[in-house]
Amino acid sequence: MTDTADPRYVVDYTRTFTFAATPEQVWAVLERFESLAAGWRWLCELRIDGPGLARGTVVRGVVAPPLPYRMRLEVILDDCVPERCIDASVHGDLEGVARISFEGDDTETRAHATWTIEMRQPSMRVAARLAPRLLRWGHDRVVDATVQGLHRHLDDELV
């Protein structure tokens, strides 16, 4: 993201999600990212270069929200501390940084997700000017689908 980014094209996101599983169990599901991502209809052309949830791994793919555009992304894992946090840089049609941190106990995990990303794709910039709420709705549907998928995987594992 550039220092002079137009705020109309920037998504600042912060939200906490709760899972009925320990941080160790949540991390174990995240480590099987390809299996987890296989159920996400919004993600295609997935390619992972690297040792999984570890510094330096690069995740590439195309994100297809429930709106008429697609985004090519490259996510570089800048830091991963097992069961504690994932820091990443986002490049491509979106540019920015993301962090997910985990805290919990023997019964639940709270995942704190934060990111600041700038829309770089021209069609997304037009949509951001004309229909910012629609664009945010599409973003939030992708996030919700991701979290629901993680809940399903955890439920399957904990049965």
Fold of 20-157: Alpha-D-Glucose-1,6-Bisphosphate; Chain A, domain 4 (3.30.530)
| Closest to 114 (Cα-Cα) out of 87, 82, 78 | 87
Look up the pTM and report it.
0.91
Per-residue pLDDT band at 41 (split at 50, 70, 90): confident
For the chain, which residues make up each domain, given as ranges?
20-157
Rounded distance, CA 109 to CA 60, Å?
27
Rounded distance, CA 155 to CA 139, Å?
25
Rounded distance, CA 109 to CA 105, Å?
7
Which residue type sits at 134? L
Q: Give the best-scoring range by mean pLDDT among 28-37, 47-56, 81-90.
A: 81-90
